[in-house]
Amino acid sequence: MDILNILVVGLLLGGIYGLVSIGLNLIFGVIRIVNFAHGELVMLGMYGAYLAYATLGLDPYIAVLLVVPALFVVGIIVHRLVLQPLHAESNMQIFATFGLLIILQNAVLAITRGEGFSVPSKVAGFTFGVGDIRVTVSRLVIFLALTATAIALHLFLKRTLIGKSIRAVTQDRQAARLMGINVERTFTITFGIGSALAGLAGVLLSPIYTLSPGIGGNFILAAFAVVVLGGLGSVAGAYFGGMIVGLVEAFAGFYIDPELKQAIWFLIFLVVLIVRPTGLFGQVGAEEVGFREQN
């Protein structure tokens, strides 16, 4: 395997990490909740794709149109019923997401009885090559979806009034209220968007992996590394952070040992926290916003 090949493998892997991270990062940046159940939302997206296949015979690339809105609704409900009532105690919210992780995993386990499903797709497994480099359609789609999502989310946050109100809430909740922004509703919508993005990741990952209730755990550690590396709450951070983690993993896996990938995530984690605690793309000073008088 030559360097170019490893580069491509790393970037495509980065696409997966980036796509899983982008919703996690949005939720963290705006609501300041570390959503431990994010991987389970990805898992729900995967099972959603399976359900669409099993009942309607849909290809996952079409099921996206159903599963992503469904996860948006799931996110809204979760935020309203579980997280919003705990708004005065942010630590409790974090515990609640952990509880949600356990409930979702076990609910899916109970329903599926642990059977490992796979979701077939007519196009996902197709590979094409340029020279020695082989690329699978499923992974390329993820990379492109991440790129499109990152651009769209960035424009949404920068250009639209709703996006600006979300950024305002991120920076100063009280001032945002004084502008007439409904902070609670902004949180709910943001959680919905973050969940929908997790759902998108899940659907697009479904042709690649055999589904299991605990599969979210495969991505979530790397996703946390991406969030810390790229910068809390930064869209560009999730994108480029994902790429960097993917590349490091690919190169280290080739030159050192693939078994070391978790050690490498944590190494990245530590180095970033020491050298640049705001992450590569984080707003310097933004990490303090969450600790300022909030309500």
Partner 1 sequence: MSRLLTVENVSSGYGLTPVLRGVSMHVDTGEVVAVVGANGVGKSTLLRTITGLVHPTGGDITFDGVHITGLPAHRIVSHGLAMVPEGGRLFTFMTVMENLELGAFNPTSREDTQQSLHEVMELFPILRERRAQRAGSLSGGERQMCAIARALMSRPRMLMLDEPSLGLSPVMLEKVFDLIRMVVASRDVTVLLIEQNVADALEMANRAYVIEHGVIAKTGPGAEMLHDPDIQRAYMGL
Residues near 224 by Cβ (< 8 Å), separated by ≥ 6? 24, 269
E-state strands within the chain: 127-130, 133-136
Encoded tokens for 202: 């899940």
Of residues 31 and 244, the one with the C-beta less far from partner 1: 31
Contact call for residue 168 and partner 1 (CB under 8 A): yes
| 124 three-state secondary structure | coil
Among 46, 104, 181, 205, binds partner 1 (CB under 8 A): 181
Q: Which of 182, 210, 262, 294 is in the footprint of partner 1 by CB under 8 A?
A: 182
Work out whether 177 is an interface residue with partner 1 (CB under 8 A): yes
Residue type, 81: L
Please tell me whether residue 154 binds partner 1 under the rule CB under 8 A: no
Tell me: does residue 164 bind partner 1 (CB under 8 A).
yes
Q: Which of 160, 210 has the CB closer to partner 1?
A: 160
Query: Applying CB under 8 A, does 189 fall inside the site for partner 1?
Result: no
- Residue 262 found at the interface with partner 1 (CB under 8 A): no
| Position 283 contacts partner 1 (CB under 8 A) | yes
C-alpha pair distances (Å), 11 with each of 5, 16, 51, 123:
10, 9, 30, 20
Closest CA to 246 of 15, 39, 19: 15
Q: Which residues form the interface with partner 1 (CB under 8 A)?
A: 161, 164-165, 167-168, 171-172, 174-183, 283, 285-286, 295
